[in-house]
């Protein structure tokens, strides 16, 4: 059967789509080049925000029309939304035939063989899909999942409810996957987990894992997402600082700059702890880029608490921030809080947050003008065949003059201009 996967949400879903590709190819199915050729459309979905779910439901309804011209076409929903909504996705009558939860992807080939309306969404607290080396689609970068699930239960977050408890993959399987990726020319490796700092397998901690993975005799970069501030250890900072293969970039979600809000988010740190971590990281690695996630309009957030977040943004000066307005997710603790902030105020605060951070990001990028950077070239620039684009070690997009011959190599370049998202180099 020819299948086509449409992926939504975070990098974990990108990685899971590669896993699903591997499972289906092993069972004799093959990936369709486009939707028109597909006999099975798989939507790999995200539940983090209501907007993400609404978007997928809209896409499914839209693709359902194809069934009138291709009666064999089937639609499957996998990922967090499948886990959260289960069989009700089939019962909605929007054209969904199969629903497969995040721990049940190995059952997909059997379900395809039967092709009856069915949903399998049981959680399996041990499932880490070891023994499968996912087929990484990108020719130059690879996402490698090192753990699944989350134990933290931040009060706004649906992830622990749908992805189950935290479990780590065998470090030997991870090493094998990383070695395979590097030997096939992927020199930008991102290790994935909801909270990589709590990776633990038979006595191997996350800093130990990073050390083990950086010993190959080749030039490559190791990145990781996401780090929970409550678990960021001195040992990790020390390993990052002394190891040139580990990128000098950390994504450290702050969520709010107000300690009372952080407590109600169940983040288990306060602003002073977060700020102390940032100071420690910058003392150990002055060149490090720090990016973050921020939520505007968490239930009960007062104007002055929101302003504490703005103050924190100005004080820390993140290289980049992913800003979101609070999204109410049924089943989470925060959804039950009775002092929800109105949509208007959430949107207004979100915009103020974005405006402030955009200015800081621009200044951070402009600070690089006149410096020499190293770019891992990944593609031709979208704007010109005489330019290529890639990423710096500290996770900034860079564009420089050059042609296809540079793709896949590390190039030294001089920054001559910057926008709030791209370094222009020569
Ligand atoms: S650490 Fe918190 S925000 Fe991140 S996935 Fe776990 S519960 Fe969600």
CATH code (residue 172): 3.80.30.20
If asked whether residues 358 and 376 sit together in one domain, one would say no
In a domain, 378, yes or no: yes
For the chain, the farthest-separated pair of C-alpha atoms sits apart, in whole angstroms, at 62
Does ligand 1 have an atom closer than 6 angstroms to the CB of 194?
yes
If asked whether residues 219 and 343 sit together in one domain, one would say yes
In a domain, 136, yes or no: no
Q: Which of 366, 383, 399 is the last residue of a domain?
A: 366
Q: What percent of the chain has pLDDT over 70?
A: 100
- The whole-number average pLDDT for the span 111-123 is 86
Confidence of residue 312 (pLDDT cuts 50, 70, 90): very high
Q: Which of 366, 391, 410 is the last residue of a domain?
A: 366
Q: What is the pLDDT of residue 22?
A: 96
Q: What is the pLDDT of residue 131?
A: 83
What are residue 153's phi and psi, to 5 degrees?
Answer: 50, 50
For the record, the structure tokens of 287 come out as 């060149």
Does ligand 1 have an atom closer than 6 angstroms to the CB of 228?
yes
Residue 382 pLDDT > 90: no
Name which of 66-75, 282-291, 337-346 the model is least confident about: 66-75
In a domain, 302, yes or no: yes
- The whole-number average pLDDT for the span 211-215 is 95
If asked whether residues 156 and 16 sit together in one domain, one would say no
What are residue 319's phi and psi, to 5 degrees?
Answer: -70, -35
Residue 298 pLDDT > 80: yes
Q: What is the pLDDT of residue 118?
A: 86
Confidence of residue 423 (pLDDT cuts 50, 70, 90): very high
Q: What is the pLDDT of residue 125?
A: 84
Does ligand 1 have an atom closer than 6 angstroms to the CB of 155?
no
Q: In the chain, how many domains are there?
A: 3
Choice from 148, 154, 229 to test ligand 1 binding pocket (greatest atom count within 8 A of CB): 154
Does ligand 1 have an atom closer than 6 angstroms to the CB of 225?
no
Residue 133 pLDDT > 90: no
- The whole-number average pLDDT for the span 393-418 is 96
Residue 145 DSSP label: E
pLDDT tens per residue across span 23-35: 999 999 999 999 9
CATH number of the structural domain spanning residue 84: 3.40.50.2300
- The whole-number average pLDDT for the span 235-247 is 97
- For the chain, the C-alpha Rg in angstroms (whole number) is 22
Q: What is the pLDDT of residue 359?
A: 98
Residue 296 pLDDT > 80: yes
Note down the domain range covering 379: 372-425
Selection from 417, 409, 171, 408 nearest residue 399 by Cα: 417
Beta-bridge mates of residue 118: 98
In a domain, 406, yes or no: yes
If asked whether residues 145 and 106 sit together in one domain, one would say no
In a domain, 290, yes or no: yes
Confidence of residue 307 (pLDDT cuts 50, 70, 90): very high
Residues 6+ apart with CB under 8 A from 204: 171, 212
If asked whether residues 158 and 226 sit together in one domain, one would say yes
If asked whether residues 347 and 380 sit together in one domain, one would say no
Between the CA of 227 and the centroid of ligand 1 the distance, in Å, is 10
If asked whether residues 282 and 250 sit together in one domain, one would say yes
Residues 6+ apart with CB under 8 A from 158: 47, 48, 80, 84, 329, 331, 332
In a domain, 135, yes or no: no
- The whole-number average pLDDT for the span 236-241 is 97
User: How far, in Å, are 17, 91, 94, 104, 143 from residue 88 at the CA level?
Assistant: 22, 5, 10, 17, 31
Q: What is the pLDDT of residue 113?
A: 87
Q: What is the pLDDT of residue 130?
A: 87
Q: What is the pLDDT of residue 98?
A: 95
pLDDT tens per residue across span 157-196: 999 999 999 999 999 999 999 999 999 999 999 999 999 9
Between the CA of 293 and the centroid of ligand 1 the distance, in Å, is 11
- The whole-number average pLDDT for the span 283-300 is 98
Q: Which of 366, 383, 403 is the last residue of a domain?
A: 366
If asked whether residues 109 and 154 sit together in one domain, one would say no
Name which of 52-61, 108-117, 242-251, 400-409 the model is least confident about: 108-117
If asked whether residues 94 and 150 sit together in one domain, one would say no
pTM of the entire structure?
0.94
In the chain, DSSP finds a helix count (H) and a strand count (E) of 13, 21
pLDDT tens per residue across span 319-343: 999 999 999 999 999 999 989 999 9
In a domain, 233, yes or no: yes
Between the CA of 266 and the centroid of ligand 1 the distance, in Å, is 10
Between the CA of 324 and the centroid of ligand 1 the distance, in Å, is 15
In a domain, 129, yes or no: no
If asked whether residues 227 and 335 sit together in one domain, one would say yes
pLDDT tens per residue across span 369-378: 999 999 999 9
Residue 116 pLDDT > 80: no
Q: Which long-range contacts (CB under 8 A, 24 or more apart) does 408-412 make?
A: 408/139, 408/140, 408/185, 408/187, 408/377, 408/378, 409/376, 409/377, 410/187, 410/219, 410/374, 410/375, 410/376, 410/377, 411/374, 411/375, 411/377, 412/372, 412/373, 412/374, 412/375
Mean pLDDT of all residues belonging to the chain: 95
If asked whether residues 152 and 232 sit together in one domain, one would say yes
Confidence of residue 349 (pLDDT cuts 50, 70, 90): very high
If asked whether residues 348 and 377 sit together in one domain, one would say no
**58 within 8 A of 95, measured Cβ to Cβ:** no
Does ligand 1 have an atom closer than 6 angstroms to the CB of 157?
yes
């Amino acid at each position: 059967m020819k299948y086509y996967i449409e992926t939504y949400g975070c990098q974990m879903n990108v990685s899971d789509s590669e896993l699903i590709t591997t499972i289906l190819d092993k069972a004799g199915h093959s990936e369709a080049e486009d939707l028109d050729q597909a006999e099975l459309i798989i939507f790999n979905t995200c539940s983090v925000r209501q907007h993400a779910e609404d978007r997928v439901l809209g896409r499914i309804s839209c693709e359902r029309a194809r069934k009138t011209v291709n009666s064999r076409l089937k639609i499957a929903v996998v990922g967090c939304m499948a886990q959260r909504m289960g069989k009700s996705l089939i019962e909605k009558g929007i054209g969904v035939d199969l629903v497969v939860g995040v721990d049940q992807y190995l059952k997909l080939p059997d379900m395809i063989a039967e092709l009856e309306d069915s949903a399998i969404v049981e959680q399996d607290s041990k499932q880490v899909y070891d023994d499968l080396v996912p087929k990484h689609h990108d020719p130059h970068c690879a996402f490698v999942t090192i753990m699944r699930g989350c134990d933290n239960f931040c009060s706004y977050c649906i992830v622990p409810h749908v992805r189950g408890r935290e479990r780590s993959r065998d470090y030997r399987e991870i090493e094998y996957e990383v070695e395979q990726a590097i030997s096939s020319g992927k020199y930008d490796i991102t290790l994935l987990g909801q909270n990589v700092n709590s990776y633990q397998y038979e006595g191997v901690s996350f800093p130990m894992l990073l050390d083990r993975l950086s010993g190959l005799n080749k030039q490559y970069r190791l990145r990781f997402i996401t780090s929970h501030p409550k678990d960021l250890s001195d040992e990790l900072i020390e390993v990052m600082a002394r190891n040139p293969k580990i990128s000098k970039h950390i994504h450290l979600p702050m969520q709010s700059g107000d300690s009372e809000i952080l407590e109600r988010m169940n983040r288990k740190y306060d602003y002073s702890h977060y700020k102390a971590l940032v100071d420690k990281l910058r003392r150990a690695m002055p060149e490090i880029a720090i990016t973050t996630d921020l939520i505007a309009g968490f239930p009960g957030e007062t104007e002055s608490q929101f302003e504490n977040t703005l103050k924190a943004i100005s004080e820390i000066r993140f290289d980049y921030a992913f800003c979101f307005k609070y999204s109410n997710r049924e089943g989470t603790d925060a959804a039950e809080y009775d002092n929800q902030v109105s949509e208007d105020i959430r949107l207004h605060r979100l915009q103020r947050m974005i405006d402030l951070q955009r200015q800081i990001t621009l200044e951070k990028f402009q600070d690089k003008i006149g410096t020499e950077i190293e770019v891992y070239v990944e593609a031709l620039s979208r704007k010109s065949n005489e330019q290529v684009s890639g990423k710096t070690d500290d996770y900034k997009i860079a564009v420089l003059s050059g042609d296809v011959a540079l793709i896949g190599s590390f190039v030294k370049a001089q920054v001559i201009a910057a926008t709030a998202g791209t370094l222009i180099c020569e």
